[in-house]
């Protein structure tokens, strides 16, 4: 786990730190990061600035945060954003049911218990408060922030600027040191410039065919290498088509595992029956099935 600096602040990346060391750390958790992503994560750790990761769904944005937490010994705290999310769902809520039971129990004994209702024992900690309390020992993943609305985005901007919140009944809670913060966005809407300026930024592309083979081999070890090359070649080709939903890396991994489970060591016509592992829309499956023979020919070694 990352140690604290002498002044109580974060000590920066483990082992003194460099982008290559970050890449090696992530690789230890089977996450293959390119130089750009490794550098962005290194800087987020080094200068304690949130990192905004954007890219198509399935390119590994969420997995990057998970791998970073696991590889550095930090606790992953995940806030999954959705339409209509508000600060109460993200920060804290009071456990009204237990408060009511407490009042009833006090009434039965003739005690006055109103002053005890808003104590920490009745506070339901949500992800943002949990991450603030953990400070530098946590990786805070604010996932799919583009699904939230403008008001919540403005709230996040204030929180990420100060890393503190005020609970009227309890006072101000300040992070002992800033948590590592990664935000992800699929660009379903444009984020405001104010939030972007508060963050480091990195766009994650779909991997090259060679890198995707490396990723799948790390995530699903033991699969035939020839199969991985052919699967990756076809998936890369699928991403150039006008599909309703292009396959992400997780779909590539699932498809390779499904093919291996059927005993296939190379792609052939039988693989057409497994397209539901890599494509998640019937229209896409029908379109690809109709051209599957030509895709196999393209992916064949030597072509």
- The domains of the chain are located at 14-91+126-204, 209-298
User: Within the chain, which residues score under 50 in pLDDT?
Assistant: 1-16, 303
Buried b (16+ CB within 10 A) or exposed e, 5-32: eeeeebbbbbeebebeebbebbbeebbb
Task: State residue 14's pLDDT score.
Answer: 47
Nearest to 267 by CA among 290, 293, 247: 293
108 contacts 148 by C-beta, under 8 angstroms: no
Task: State residue 88's pLDDT score.
Answer: 86
Distance, in Å, from the CA atom of 53 to the CA atom of 51, rounded to the nearest integer, reads 6
210 contacts 170 by C-beta, under 8 angstroms: no
Task: State residue 2's pLDDT score.
Answer: 38
- The answer as to CATH 3.40.50.300 being correct for domain 14-91+126-204 is yes
Question: Which single residue is written with the structure tokens 């379903």?
Answer: 188
Task: State residue 12's pLDDT score.
Answer: 46
160 contacts 179 by C-beta, under 8 angstroms: no
Residues in contact with 277: Cβ distance below 8 Å, sequence separation at least 6, in sequence order: 251, 254, 255, 258
- Whether pTM > 0.75 for this model: the answer is yes
231 contacts 216 by C-beta, under 8 angstroms: yes
Q: Where are the beta strands (DSSP E) in the chain?
A: 51-55, 75-80, 92-94, 123-125, 138-143, 164-167, 171-174, 180-185, 200-204
Task: State residue 302's pLDDT score.
Answer: 60
Please state, as a whole number, how many other Cβ atoms lie within 10 Å of the Cβ of residue 138: 23
């Amino acid at each position: 786990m990352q140690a604290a600096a002498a002044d109580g602040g974060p000590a920066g990346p483990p082992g003194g730190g460099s982008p290559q060391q970050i890449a090696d750390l992530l690789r230890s958790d089977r996450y293959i990061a390119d130089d750009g992503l490794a550098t962005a994560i290194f800087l987020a750790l080094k200068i304690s600035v949130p990192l905004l990761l954007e890219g198509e769904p399935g390119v590994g944005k969420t997995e990057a945060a998970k791998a970073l937490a696991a590889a550095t010994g930090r606790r992953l705290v995940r806030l999954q954003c959705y339409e209509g999310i508000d600060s109460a769902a993200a920060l804290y809520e009071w456990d009204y049911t237990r408060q009511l039971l407490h009042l009833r129990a006090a009434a039965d004994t003739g005690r006055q218990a109103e002053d005890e209702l808003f104590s920490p024992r009745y506070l339901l900690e949500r992800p943002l408060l949990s991450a603030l309390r953990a400070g530098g020992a946590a990786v805070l993943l604010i996932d799919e922030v583009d699904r939230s609305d403008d008001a919540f985005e403005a709230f996040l901007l204030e929180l990420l600027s100060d890393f503190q919140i005020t609970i009227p009944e309890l006072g101000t809670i300040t992070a002992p040191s800033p948590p590592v913060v990664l935000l992800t966005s699929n660009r379903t809407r444009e984020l405001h410039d104010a939030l972007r300026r508060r963050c480091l930024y990195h766009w994650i592309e779909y991997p090259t065919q060679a890198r995707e083979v490396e990723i799948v081999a790390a995530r699903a070890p033991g699969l035939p290498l020839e199969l991985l090359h052919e699967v990756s070649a076809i998936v890369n080709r699928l991403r150039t088509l006008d599909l309703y939903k292009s396959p992400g890396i997780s779909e590539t991994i699932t498809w390779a595992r499904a093919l291996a489970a059927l005993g296939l060591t190379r792609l052939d016509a039988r693989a057409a029956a497994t397209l539901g592992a890599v494509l998640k829309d019937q229209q896409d499956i029908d379109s690809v099935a109709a051209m599957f023979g030509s895709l196999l020919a393209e992916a064949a070694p030597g072509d």
